[in-house]
């Protein structure tokens, strides 16, 4: 390099030209100089021809000649050190050699020499470039003289290349001259030409110039120019800069625009409309002002997408200037009348729902800064938003637009914790404070008194709809709902119209039905969460109204019953009445579909009211005449028919939801609508309809509950549900899915159940409780056909048993395409306990026969088609057998004990056959075939599980399986096959000596013991199989006795009281 000749310089120039020509499109397309530099720095990563450029080859050769020996020496030194155990790998070697090379003297000398040479070459290129530009400039002046009026119509050249514009790059002298020509003292023509030149120059050069302070003052003055064409050019420059420059440049322009607008509103010489005159959008001054506000708002909406890549101070400057502008109302109050519109009104005109604020509050990064500024400097802005609600009903459209904007801003604030911390806020009168609860209550009251005139014309912008949307968002966020909605004061505000209607007080509400529907929507969302449900059922803090902590749920259910009976004088004949009924029944639905909610609502017999209303609606819908084409009443009849059909389906769905709990299923059974409900569920299931707006896990839980009873299993079969599940199982086992493209043969299955078949298998297992299985296949023979067609598809449980389980003939084997997978089944075997003498079997048989005879004498005569209720108890008497073992095979002692034991309450829950079709049960309960162990014990197991072990409760819900079904199986078998014999004895003794409610606490203890396994098997999606097949490894009653005692202290009064009332008519 010391002998750098003119030939070398020319060679390097040609190399650089080649490189620049190759990357020209990338560089000219960059929005700024910084971006162009980034493109060049990362060229090796983005350009596949990078190593083919002559300049790159030249640099590589030059570096190799200069530093090659240094790198080799350092590599040898490090390699020898590694051989002696001092090194730690290839990566470390590269890093070490690189570091030492860059620290070497040769490297520093090379960089200094290379820099000097490249600078000489670049300066030569620039000189040639400037000469070319001067010639081009002269040519442009001639063209501009000829086409002065149209040449600058666009802000950029047609080729999108800065090399084809008047100025590619502008030096400081040129920029200074441009600033001087934009001075307001200059003639109009000079200023317009300067503005045109400014629009054609790169924004990066302009924003980085030394005269920016004076320039942006001139631009602000130009924005107020009476010539709209000239001011529009300034706006175009702002818009172009906003869209093509980085944040560090555009924030300067944005703050200057915000400051200009702030001064505009402060000046008495500028035209600012008043509330009394309104805004005339044909007024030129208003048009120009709205254009500037729109440009400001456009940038507000776009800037959140990229400000995270820049220092926080840039973002804070933008926010500071924005909030300063919006809070201008207070600063102006002493200058002009408060009747003048403020900047917020104009911003609301162009962004009525405050989308800009929603975007600013979306990310934590920006939200923190906004809330900090509001807290420290602009808290008065919140009170400004609050103040507008009070003047909402003045009838002025501008105030209403401001109201919509304010509601959107306040709603967004309430979503975030720091935003809620801004409250309480001092109102503009300087006296009152508005707390978070006060604000929510004010929102609710605005729903009540939404003006008719506004509601009719605004559609989605109606006050009630807007505020309901805000409250919906709060309901759907747990933390927000807890702080804002879950208080007695808010619940009382929501229920106030219901109190008035129930008490006969005159109600002054506009659009009463619509208002009540909004209230029902909010209440339903509150009831859909555990905390909200608890508040409605039991109250939060002590209620201030009549000391009634349960008033929420009671008021809702009383009002709902009156709606169903059409016993509210102000609502009869309303077109919205069917929708209103459905809305409030759904609120109750959210409560009675849980165990705790059903207990509170039970005294109101809501299931009877809904069933009665459904039957009435069903009859009315049948009587509606078929519309005749061309008749005048076609549309009216069709609408009426549609309303009744929707209400009919809604009522059926609400009845079906009673089946979500064991006791609710008993209530549903008493209404006689089980078959209709299950058919309705199956129709929705086949169409893949969503269950409802608040349910996430489908109908699995309801199907599992229904299948735990004999009558439910019959309803499932008659609806076609079981056939659909069996068909799906057969399809995946034998046929495979039609929509799966087979690219390779299936491997031989190694799991008991192939993963592709697991879901339909589990869906079928959910149905296989003992009452369901006996009802579906009891007293039936296996078909055992001599020949099975390959197209013959099973349709019920007995067919599955015949084709897949008892594969005992060649015909069955040959009828299966996937015999290795399809015929796999399990067989459980028992251990010999060696507790009795060998001839004790005869005595056990006599004990069981005597028990059957004795219990038949206490059976009621029932008229039913259920197989399980025809005659004696069909299942095995596990309890009597257990007592026989405890008595060491003594037949007389066993019978004497059982006779005396049958007079105790605990016998109803430990000795399952004791209450089979019993005269001691109400007739409706006995004929349902649902045992107290299910609708009482298993019901309370579900309730306690949700309170004590919420993770386990959620696991059951997600799996579509129910704890009540598996508990019914455990308790029916006295935990045989699950516990050790000693633990079974402890279970029986504890329940006899301490009370039948310990049966429930025992189940909860088992779930507590199995919690980790339950959660694990929920993930592997085989929870049903695990709980039905696996023993309770390591479970000992003594380990959980204290736990059960603590449960008894909390729950015994309710549980034991309900167990004692099983002879009372629950329905």
For 766-794, what is each residue's pLDDT tens digit? 888 899 899 989 888 888 888 888 778 88
Q: Average pLDDT for residues 270-274, to the nearest whole number?
A: 81
Q: Is residue 545 very low, low, confident or very high in pLDDT (cuts 50, 70, 90)?
A: very low
The predicted pLDDT at position 394 comes to 40
| 422-426, 518-522, 741-745, range with the lowest pLDDT | 741-745
Q: Check if the beta carbon of residue 439 is closer than 8 Å to that of residue 453.
A: no
CB neighbours of 41 closer than 8 A, spacing ≥ 6?
Answer: none
Residue 91 forms part of a structural domain? yes
CB neighbours of 197 closer than 8 A, spacing ≥ 6?
Answer: 166, 167, 178
Residue 683 has pLDDT above 60, yes or no: yes
Residue 655 has pLDDT above 50, yes or no: yes
Distance CA 53, CA 688 (A): 61
For residues 661 and 758, membership in a common domain is answered with: no
The predicted pLDDT at position 1009 comes to 97
Q: What range does the domain containing 767 cover? A: 723-740+749-822
The predicted pLDDT at position 119 comes to 83
For residues 734 and 697, membership in a common domain is answered with: no
If you search the block for the tokens 């759907």, which residue do you land on? 476
Question: Average pLDDT of the chain?
Answer: 81
The predicted pLDDT at position 870 comes to 86
Residue 374 forms part of a structural domain? no
Q: Residue 262: which of 328, 351, 306 has the closest Cα?
A: 328
Residue 587 has pLDDT above 50, yes or no: yes
Residue 369 has pLDDT above 70, yes or no: yes
More confident residue, 968 or 688: 968
The predicted pLDDT at position 455 comes to 44
The total number of structural domains that make up the chain: 4
For residues 806 and 697, membership in a common domain is answered with: no
Residue 1054 forms part of a structural domain? yes
Residue 149 forms part of a structural domain? no
- Among the candidates 98, 116, 141, a domain finishes at 141
| 388-402, 596-610, 942-956, range with the lowest pLDDT | 388-402
pLDDT digit string, tens, across residues 105-134: 888 888 888 888 888 888 877 777 666 666
Strands 425-426 and 433-434: antiparallel
The predicted pLDDT at position 1054 comes to 94
For residues 961 and 1060, membership in a common domain is answered with: yes
If you search the block for the tokens 């009795």, which residue do you land on? 836
For residues 693 and 781, membership in a common domain is answered with: no
Q: Residue 1012: which of 1054, 1053, 951 has the closest Cα?
A: 951
Give me 956's structure tokens: 């059951």
The predicted pLDDT at position 543 comes to 36
Q: Is residue 1065 very low, low, confident or very high in pLDDT (cuts 50, 70, 90)?
A: low
For residues 1010 and 883, membership in a common domain is answered with: yes
Residue 697 has pLDDT above 80, yes or no: no
What 985-988 contacts at long range (C-beta under 8 Å, 24+ apart), as own/partner pairs, is: 985/882, 985/886, 986/1037, 986/1038, 987/1037, 988/879, 988/882, 988/883, 988/886, 988/910
pLDDT digit string, tens, across residues 944-1001: 999 999 999 999 998 889 999 999 999 999 999 999 999 999 999 999 999 999 999 9
The predicted pLDDT at position 696 comes to 52
pLDDT digit string, tens, across residues 439-483: 999 999 888 876 554 444 455 677 888 899 999 999 999 999 999
Distance CA 484, CA 563 (A): 29
Residue 1051 has pLDDT above 50, yes or no: yes
Residue 392 has pLDDT above 80, yes or no: no
Residue 896 forms part of a structural domain? yes
Terminal CA-CA length for the chain: 103
Residue 155 has pLDDT above 70, yes or no: no
Q: Check if the beta carbon of residue 453 is closer than 8 Å to that of residue 503.
A: no
Give the DSSP H or E segment for 369.
helix 364-376
| 92-106, 139-153, 709-723, 925-939, range with the lowest pLDDT | 139-153
CB neighbours of 744 closer than 8 A, spacing ≥ 6?
Answer: none
Q: Residue 717: which of 799, 784, 783 has the closest Cα?
A: 799
Rounded to 5°, angle at Cα 632 from 626 and 633:
45
Q: Is residue 1010 very low, low, confident or very high in pLDDT (cuts 50, 70, 90)?
A: very high
Q: Check if the beta carbon of residue 423 is closer than 8 Å to that of residue 482.
A: no
Q: Residue 209: which of 165, 169, 161, 260 has the closest Cα?
A: 169
Residue 265 forms part of a structural domain? no
| 43-47, 240-244, 335-339, 349-353, range with the lowest pLDDT | 335-339
More confident residue, 138 or 111: 111
Q: Average pLDDT for residues 382-407, to the nearest whole number?
A: 64
Q: Check if the beta carbon of residue 560 is closer than 8 Å to that of residue 588.
A: yes
pTM of this structure: 0.73
For residues 692 and 767, membership in a common domain is answered with: no
The predicted pLDDT at position 989 comes to 97
Q: Which residues of 773-790 are buried (b: 16+ CB within 10 A; e: fewer)?
A: bbbbbeeeeeeeeeebee
Q: Average pLDDT for residues 245-258, to the nearest whole number?
A: 85
Q: Check if the beta carbon of residue 976 is closer than 8 Å to that of residue 1030.
A: no
Would you state the torsion angle of the CA atoms of residues 326, 330, 332, 338, taken in this order, to the nearest 10 degrees?
100
For residues 998 and 888, membership in a common domain is answered with: yes
pLDDT digit string, tens, across residues 73-82: 888 787 776 6
For residues 809 and 864, membership in a common domain is answered with: no
If you search the block for the tokens 């219901």, which residue do you land on? 498
Torsion over CA: 797, 798, 800, 801 (sign): positive
Q: Check if the beta carbon of residue 665 is closer than 8 Å to that of residue 681.
A: no
Residue 860 has pLDDT above 90, yes or no: no
Distance CA 662, CA 532 (A): 23
The predicted pLDDT at position 173 comes to 80
Distance CA 682, CA 140 (A): 78
Q: Average pLDDT for residues 886-913, to the nearest whole number?
A: 94
Q: Is residue 756 very low, low, confident or very high in pLDDT (cuts 50, 70, 90)?
A: low
For residues 104 and 30, membership in a common domain is answered with: yes
Q: In this structure, what DSSP letter does residue 434 have?
A: E
Q: ω before 784 within 30° of 0 (cis)?
A: no
Q: Check if the beta carbon of residue 164 is closer than 8 Å to that of residue 151.
A: no
Paired residues of 859 in beta bridges: 918
The predicted pLDDT at position 120 comes to 83
What 77-86 contacts at long range (C-beta under 8 Å, 24+ apart), as own/partner pairs, is: none
> In the chain, how long is the greatest CA-to-CA distance?
127
Q: Residue 916: which of 905, 899, 930, 901 has the closest Cα?
A: 930
Residue 1006 forms part of a structural domain? yes
Percent of the chain with pLDDT strictly greater than 70: 81
CB neighbours of 807 closer than 8 A, spacing ≥ 6?
Answer: 813, 816, 819, 823
Q: Is residue 267 very low, low, confident or very high in pLDDT (cuts 50, 70, 90)?
A: confident
Residue 936 has pLDDT above 60, yes or no: yes
Residue 569 has pLDDT above 50, yes or no: yes
- Residue 456's φ and ψ, nearest 5 degrees, are -65, -40
What CA–CA distances, in Å, run from 38 to 42, 494, 510, 755?
Answer: 6, 58, 62, 51
Tally of helices (H runs) and strands (E runs) in the chain: 58, 2
Percent of the chain with pLDDT strictly greater than 90: 33
C-alpha R_g of the chain:
41
For residues 881 and 1027, membership in a common domain is answered with: yes
The predicted pLDDT at position 456 comes to 42
The predicted pLDDT at position 1008 comes to 97
Q: Average pLDDT for residues 887-899, to the nearest whole number?
A: 94
The predicted pLDDT at position 332 comes to 45
What 32-37 contacts at long range (C-beta under 8 Å, 24+ apart), as own/partner pairs, is: 32/203, 32/204, 32/244, 32/245, 32/246, 32/249, 33/204, 34/204, 34/246, 35/246
Paired residues of 340 in beta bridges: 274
For residues 870 and 980, membership in a common domain is answered with: yes
More confident residue, 835 or 640: 835
Q: Check if the beta carbon of residue 663 is closer than 8 Å to that of residue 1066.
A: yes
Distance CA 579, CA 650 (A): 9
Q: Residue 962: which of 936, 932, 941 has the closest Cα?
A: 941
Q: Average pLDDT for residues 17-31, to the nearest whole number?
A: 76
Residue 164 has pLDDT above 60, yes or no: no
Residue 389 has pLDDT above 50, yes or no: no
The predicted pLDDT at position 624 comes to 59
Distance CA 942, CA 24 (A): 71
Residue 53 has pLDDT above 90, yes or no: no
Residue 471 forms part of a structural domain? no
| 460-474, 520-534, 600-614, 636-650, range with the lowest pLDDT | 636-650
């Amino acid at each position: 390099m010391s002998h750098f000749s003119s030939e070398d310089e020319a060679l390097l120039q040609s190399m650089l030209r080649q490189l620049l020509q190759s990357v020209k499109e990338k560089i000219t397309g960059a929005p700024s100089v910084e971006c162009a530099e980034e493109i060049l720095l990362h060229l090796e990563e983005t350009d596949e021809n990078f190593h083919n450029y002559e300049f790159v080859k030249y640099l590589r050769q030059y570096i190799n000649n200069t530093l090659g020996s240094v790198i080799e020496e350092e590599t040898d030194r490090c390699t020898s050190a590694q051989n002696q155990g001092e090194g730690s790998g290839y990566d470390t070697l590269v890093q070490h050699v690189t570091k030492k090379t860059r620290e070497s003297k040769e490297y520093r000398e090379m960089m200094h020499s290379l820099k000097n040479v490249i600078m000489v070459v670049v300066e030569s290129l620039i000189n040639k470039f400037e000469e070319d530009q001067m010639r081009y400039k002269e040519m442009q002046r001639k063209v501009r003289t000829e086409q002065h009026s149209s040449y600058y119509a666009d802000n950029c050249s047609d080729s999108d290349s800065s090399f084809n514009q008047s100025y590619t790059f502008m030096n400081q002298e040129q920029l200074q001259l441009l600033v001087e020509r934009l001075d307001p003292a200059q003639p109009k023509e000079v200023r317009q030409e300067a503005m045109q030149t400014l629009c054609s120059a790169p924004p990066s050069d302009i924003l980085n110039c030394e005269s920016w302070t004076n320039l942006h003052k001139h631009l602000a003055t130009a924005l107020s120019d009476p010539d709209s064409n000239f001011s529009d050019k300034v706006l175009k420059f702002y818009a172009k800069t906003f869209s093509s420059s980085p944040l560090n440049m555009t924030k300067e322009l944005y703050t200057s625009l915000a400051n200009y607008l702030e001064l505009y509103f402060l000046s008495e010489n500028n035209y600012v409309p008043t509330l009394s005159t309104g805004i005339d959008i044909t007024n030129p001054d208003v048009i120009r002002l709205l254009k500037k506000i729109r440009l400001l708002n456009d940038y507000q909406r776009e800037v959140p997408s990229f400000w995270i890549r820049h220092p926080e101070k840039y973002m804070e400057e933008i926010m500071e200037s924005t909030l300063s502008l919006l809070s201008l109302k207070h600063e102006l109050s002493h200058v002009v009348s408060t009747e003048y519109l403020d900047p917020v009104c104009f911003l609301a005109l162009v962004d009525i729902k405050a989308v800009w604020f929603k975007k600013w509050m979306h990310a934590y990064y920006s939200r923190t800064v906004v809330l900090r500024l509001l807290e420290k400097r602009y808290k008065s802005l919140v009170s400004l938003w609050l103040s507008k609600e009070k003047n909402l009903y003045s009838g002025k459209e501008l105030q209403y637009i401001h109201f919509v904007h304010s509601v959107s801003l306040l709603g967004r604030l309430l979503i975030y914790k720091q935003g809620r911390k801004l409250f309480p806020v001092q109102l503009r009168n300087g006296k009152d404070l508005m707390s978070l609860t006060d604000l929510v209550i004010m929102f609710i009251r605005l729903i009540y008194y939404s003006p008719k005139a506004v509601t009719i014309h605004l559609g989605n912008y109606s006050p009630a709809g807007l505020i309901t949307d805000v409250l919906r968002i709060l309901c759907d966020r747990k933390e927000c709902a807890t702080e804002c909605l879950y208080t007695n004061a808010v619940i009382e505000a929501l229920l106030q119209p219901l109190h008035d209607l129930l008490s006969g007080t005159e109600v002054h509400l506009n659009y009463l039905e619509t208002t009540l529907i909004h209230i029902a929507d909010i209440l339903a969302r509150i009831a859909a969460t555990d905390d909200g449900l608890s508040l409605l059922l039991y109250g939060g803090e002590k209620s201030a109204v009549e000391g009634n902590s349960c008033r929420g749920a009671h008021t809702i259910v009383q009002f709902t019953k009156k709606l169903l009976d059409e016993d509210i004088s102000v609502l009869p004949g309303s077109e919205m009445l069917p929708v209103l009924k459905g809305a409030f029944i759904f609120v109750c639905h959210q409560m009675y579909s849980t165990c705790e909610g059903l207990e509170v609502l039970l005294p109101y017999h809501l299931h009877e009211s809904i069933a009665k209303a459904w039957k009435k609606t069903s009859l009315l819908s049948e009587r509606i005449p078929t519309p005749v084409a061309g008749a005048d009443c076609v549309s009216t009849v069709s609408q009426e028919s549609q309303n009744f059909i929707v209400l009919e389906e809604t009522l059926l769905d609400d009845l079906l939801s009673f089946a979500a709990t064991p006791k609710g299923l008993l209530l549903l059974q008493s209404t006689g609508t089980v078959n209709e409900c299950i058919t309705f569920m199956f129709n929705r299931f086949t169409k893949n309809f969503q269950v409802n707006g608040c349910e996430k896990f489908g109908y699995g839980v309801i199907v599992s509950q229904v299948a735990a009873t004999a009558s439910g299993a019959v309803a499932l079969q008659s609806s076609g549900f079981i056939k659909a599940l069996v068909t799906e199982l057969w399809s995946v086992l034998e046929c495979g899915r039609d929509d799966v493209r087979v690219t390779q043969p299936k491997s031989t299955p190694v799991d008991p159940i192939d993963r592709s078949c697991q879901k339909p298998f589990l869906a079928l297992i959910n149905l296989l409780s003992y009452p369901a299985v006996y009802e579906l296949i009891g007293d039936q023979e296996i078909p055992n056909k001599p020949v099975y067609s390959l197209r013959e598809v099973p349709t019920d449980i007995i067919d599955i048993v015949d084709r897949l389980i008892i594969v005992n003939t060649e015909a069955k084997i040959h009828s299966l395409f996937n015999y290795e997978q399809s015929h796999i089944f399990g067989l459980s075997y028992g251990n010999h306990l060696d507790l009795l003498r060998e001839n004790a079997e005869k005595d056990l048989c006599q004990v069981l026969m005597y028990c059957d005879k004795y219990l038949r004498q206490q059976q009621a005569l029932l008229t039913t088609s259920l197989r399980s209720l025809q005659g004696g108890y069909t299942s095995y008497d596990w309890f009597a057998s257990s007592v026989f073992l405890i008595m060491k095979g003594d037949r007389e002692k066993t019978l004497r004990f059982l006779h005396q034991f049958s007079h105790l309450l605990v016998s109803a829950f430990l000795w399952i056959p004791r209450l089979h079709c019993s005269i001691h049960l109400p007739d409706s309960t006995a004929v349902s075939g649902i045992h107290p162990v299910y609708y009482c014990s298993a019901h309370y197991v579900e309730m306690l599980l949700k309170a004590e072990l919420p993770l386990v409760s959620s696991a059951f819900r997600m799996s579509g399986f129910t704890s009540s079904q598996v508990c019914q199986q455990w308790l029916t078998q006295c935990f045989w096959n699950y516990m050790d014999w000693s633990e079974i004895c402890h279970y029986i003794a504890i329940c006899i000596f301490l009370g039948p409610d310990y049966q429930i606490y025992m189940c909860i203890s088992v779930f507590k013991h199995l919690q980790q396994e339950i959660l694990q098997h929920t993930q592997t999606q085989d929870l049903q199989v695990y709980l039905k097949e696996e023993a309770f490894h390591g479970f000992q009653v003594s380990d959980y006795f204290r736990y059960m005692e603590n449960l008894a202290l909390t729950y015994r009064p309710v549980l034991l009281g309900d167990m004692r009332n099983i002879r009372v008519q629950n329905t």
